[in-house]
Amino acid sequence: MYIPWLSPYAFKIGSFGVHWYGIFMVLAILGGGWYLMERGQQLGADPDRLSTITLWTIFWGVVGARVVFVLANYPQWIWTDPVQALKIWDGGLAIDGAVGFGILALWWQLRKQPVMFNHLIDWTVPGIGLGIFMVRIGNIFNHEVLGHMTTLGFGRWPEQLIGSTWGVFLIIRYFWLERRRTPPPGYQFWSAMFYYAILRGFIGETTRDNPLHWVHYLNPHWGIGFVTLMQWFTPPILVFTGIMMRRTWRKSAQTHLVEQDMAMEPSH
């Protein structure tokens, strides 16, 4: 969607302006962090340590989101305008970098507690979904992340709304699985990333007006194009997350068999 009369600023105080994008991002971080803290305390974790873990995870998630965005879109900023590379309030965050750096930071802090790590990554899913939804809405106010133009009668693909739909999907799917099934720890996260990669890579990136790399195909009537940088990375992401999904189920099945064997052993 491109709505030129929308202002990116929620309000201004003199020359200082507060962007809608920043407000939405902060609300998503607060919502996701609150949920992670609430669920994390169910494991009996120390609240102070859990809050520290959450803050460092969020911090590195934001750093990763900006780093990946800059490297993928404007790597020249690093040596020509490094200050611009830091201006996250002007928009420009990559969800892939946020998830990647955030999960690595979480793993590093909990590398000696794999059970807690697997539970906590599952509980990041609602926050990730909320972040995708709200930041994409912020993109509308920033006049960015636009879709290809079409000749289908509606003009440009509403890419921000398409992208925000994936966030809603992740949230609904997460709570549906929580209520209807009992997936093993870790499955919620890896499966969410698997399906998100499919939706974004094969639908969202096809209609999004992004630079094409190596293979250049663009259909001006339908407004679809490929292959974008994200689409090149989609297959390895699917392979990796698919392996991790299967691994969580396999570990869960092995644990269940061990528990059954122990229950069947005669007591002395």
Positions at the binding site? 136
First vs last Cα of the chain: how many Å apart?
71
| H-run or E-run covering 19 | strand 16-19
**CA separation for the pair 201, 234 (Å, rounded):** 6
Measured from the Cβ of residue 66, the count of other Cβ atoms closer than 10 Å reads: 20
Cβ atoms of 101 and 67 within 8 Å: the answer is yes
In the block, residue with structure tokens 């507690």: 113
3-state SS assignment for residue 14: coil
Token digits of residue 168: 């809603």
**CA separation for the pair 165, 158 (Å, rounded):** 11
